[in-house]
């Protein structure tokens, strides 16, 4: 009998073998709890069993293995605080927003980002009188938005935390108001500034929102039911610069992302991460295309065993997400990213078909055909990364409106959200789906 290797099929143990180890792990864990084992011992036993399952299942079990396989560190924890201040006069609305994003990765490194955004547009409302309904109201808004960001990289979480404590006050809405006052003051000191960031990005685009509410007149009903309809859309594009690499990206609508291959199509109902298409360039040459999507989990994501194709993975993702769109709150979410190596001629040709449309160098009527062609290429040659995360969100807001000859008002909101990695997998061309134990620390 030939010996097993990590690259052979026997190195990727059968589902029965993995399931047996999982049962043993559960039994030992229950026994440890029953006899009151010390937490440190229980954690050590759990970690050893988890590592054993990873080895038998052919997963990526250590940071060294991930590095040898060319896999990037996983995002294990992200915290985002966002503050918005808006003012409205008659039909004009202006918003100013700031955000702080703190990320920790599986290799111990961390990143801190400060984001500044502006949004401005016009709002309007009209009364509706339907022949088959009671009077209603339709309102809408449209405008432009712009965001700029800076990112600082750190070798570990400790210096990142010190950096946040040092600069977060200055980068808040209140801190920026104080800085503006100092700039206007001729004799005031401007104070120190943060060191140069390792990465920057800029994005801008348009947005539109519409809402309508009216009553329905139905026979035999003494009280007319009310019907509310809402919709929104927009186009946002941006550029991110990190060292020699420049990444151009476009936020996608859900209909387009659903056609970009089986995996992204399975998680096309976005929750906290807007679907996006990215193209990275170095020395003027495109080197990578990535498509990202996310969805709320509606069921269990069971990826034990060798899932060797994007189609099989997509079916399991669809079963876990249920195809439904998740709202903000606390729960589990699935994030997926599919990457194409653009140094490959066939991959580059598929990507060019979509990029020509985005740059208005091809007829719009071929959009659907070209998007589907890129989706087929993502299925055939894409590298897939899947993460299950525990997500949470909270919001505080205040609003004041009045009418003094003209309608005026203002609002303030503070949103806090977190994303914490629960499990991660990677699928590379010609290989099996591998669990990323290197990304999740043993409990």
Residue 118 domain-assigned (yes or no): yes
Same-domain check for residues 384 and 430? yes
Given 232, 255, 290, the domain boundary residue is 232
Residue 24 domain-assigned (yes or no): no
Q: What is the mean pLDDT of the chain?
A: 76
- Is pLDDT above 50 for 66? yes
Mean of the pLDDT values across residues 84-89?
76
Mean of the pLDDT values across residues 73-82?
91
Same-domain check for residues 83 and 215? yes
Rg for the chain (alpha carbons), in Å? 26
Same-domain check for residues 267 and 381? yes
Residue 58 domain-assigned (yes or no): no
Mean of the pLDDT values across residues 329-352?
88
Same-domain check for residues 141 and 216? yes
pLDDT score for 92: 76
Given 232, 266, 288, the domain boundary residue is 232
Same-domain check for residues 268 and 174? no
Same-domain check for residues 190 and 118? yes
- Is pLDDT above 80 for 56? no
pLDDT score for 443: 47
pLDDT 10s digits, 143-172: 888 899 999 999 999 999 999 999 988 888
Residue 129 lies in domain = 75-232
What is the Cα 331 distance to its own chain's centre?
A: 15
**214 or 124, which is more confident:** 124
pLDDT score for 97: 86
- Is pLDDT above 90 for 403? no
The domain total for the chain is 2
When pLDDT is cut at 50, 70 and 90, the band that residue 224 belongs to is: low
Q: Which of 103-117, 181-195, 251-265 shows the lowest per-residue confidence on average (mean pLDDT)?
A: 181-195
Residue 26 domain-assigned (yes or no): no
Residue 61 domain-assigned (yes or no): no
pLDDT score for 10: 44
pLDDT score for 295: 86
Rounded CA separation 63/69 (Å): 10
Tell me if 73 sits within 8 A of 66, measured CB to CB. yes
Mean of the pLDDT values across residues 85-99?
78
Q: Which of 181-195, 211-225, 427-441 shows the lowest per-residue confidence on average (mean pLDDT)?
A: 211-225
Rounded CA separation 292/279 (Å): 12
pLDDT score for 46: 56
Q: Which of 173-177, 230-234, 423-427 shows the lowest per-residue confidence on average (mean pLDDT)?
A: 230-234
pLDDT score for 159: 96
Percent of the chain topping pLDDT 90: 25
pLDDT score for 129: 53
**440 or 34, which is more confident:** 440
Same-domain check for residues 228 and 86? yes
Same-domain check for residues 259 and 195? no
Same-domain check for residues 156 and 216? yes
Residue 298 domain-assigned (yes or no): yes
Same-domain check for residues 362 and 219? no
Residue 289 domain-assigned (yes or no): yes
Residue 143 domain-assigned (yes or no): yes
Same-domain check for residues 277 and 218? no
pLDDT score for 278: 92
Q: Which residue has the tokens 């589907």?
A: 372
Q: Which of 177-186, 229-238, 424-433 shows the lowest per-residue confidence on average (mean pLDDT)?
A: 229-238
Given 197, 232, 267, the domain boundary residue is 232
Same-domain check for residues 290 and 369? yes
**314 or 406, which is more confident:** 314
**319 or 350, which is more confident:** 350
């Amino acid at each position: 009998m030939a010996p097993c290797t990590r690259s052979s099929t026997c190195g990727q143990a059968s589902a029965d073998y993995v399931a047996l180890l999982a049962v043993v792990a559960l039994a030992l864990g229950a026994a440890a709890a029953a006899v009151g084992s010390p937490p440190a011992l229980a954690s050590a036993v759990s970690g050893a069993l988890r590592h054993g399952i990873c080895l038998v299942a052919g997963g990526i079990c250590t940071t060294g293995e991930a590095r040898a396989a060319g896999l990037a560190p996983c995002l294990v924890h992200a915290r985002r605080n966002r503050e918005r201040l808006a003012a409205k006069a008659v039909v004009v609305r202006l918003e100013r927003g700031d955000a702080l994003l703190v990320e920790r990765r599986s290799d111990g490194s961390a990143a801190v980002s400060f984001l500044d955004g502006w949004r401005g547009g016009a709002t309007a409302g009209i009364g509706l009188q339907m022949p088959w309904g009671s009077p209603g109201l339709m309102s809408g808004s449209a405008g432009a938005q712009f965001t700029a960001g800076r990112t600082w990289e750190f070798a570990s979480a400790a210096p990142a935390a010190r950096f946040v404590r040092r600069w977060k006050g200055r980068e808040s809405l209140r801190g920026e108001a104080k800085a503006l006052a100092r700039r206007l003051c001729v004799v005031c000191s401007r104070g120190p500034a943060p060191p140069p960031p390792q990465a920057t990005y800029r994005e801008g685009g348009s947005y539109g929102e519409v809402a309508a509410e009216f009553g329905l007149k139905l026979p035999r009903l003494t009280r007319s039911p009310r019907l509310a309809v809402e919709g929104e859309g927009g186009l946002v594009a941006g550029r991110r610069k990190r060292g020699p690499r420049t990444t151009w990206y476009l936020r996608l609508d859900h209909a387009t992302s659903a056609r970009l291959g089986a995996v992204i199509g399975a998680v096309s109902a976005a929750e906290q991460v807007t679907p996006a298409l990215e193209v990275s360039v170095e020395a003027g040459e495109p080197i990578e295309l990535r498509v990202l999507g996310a969805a709320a989990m509606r069921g269990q994501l069971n990826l034990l065993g060798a899932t060797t194709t994007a189609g099989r993975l997509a079916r399991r993702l669809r079963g876990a997400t249920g195809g439904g769109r998740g709202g903000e709150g606390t729960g589990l979410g699935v994030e997926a990213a599919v990457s194409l190596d653009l140094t490959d001629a066939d991959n580059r040709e598929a990507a060019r078909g979509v990029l020509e449309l985005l740059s208005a160098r091809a007829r719009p009527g071929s959009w659907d055909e070209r998007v589907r062609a890129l989706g087929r290429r993502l299925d055939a040659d894409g590298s897939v990364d899947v993460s299950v995360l525990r997500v949470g969100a909270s919001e505080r807001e205040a609003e004041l409106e009045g009418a003094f000859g003209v309608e005026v008002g203002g609002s303030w909101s503070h949103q806090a959200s977190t994303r914490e990695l629960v499990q991660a997998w990677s699928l590379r061309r010609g290989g099996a789906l591998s669990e990323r134990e290197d990304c999740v620390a043993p409990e």
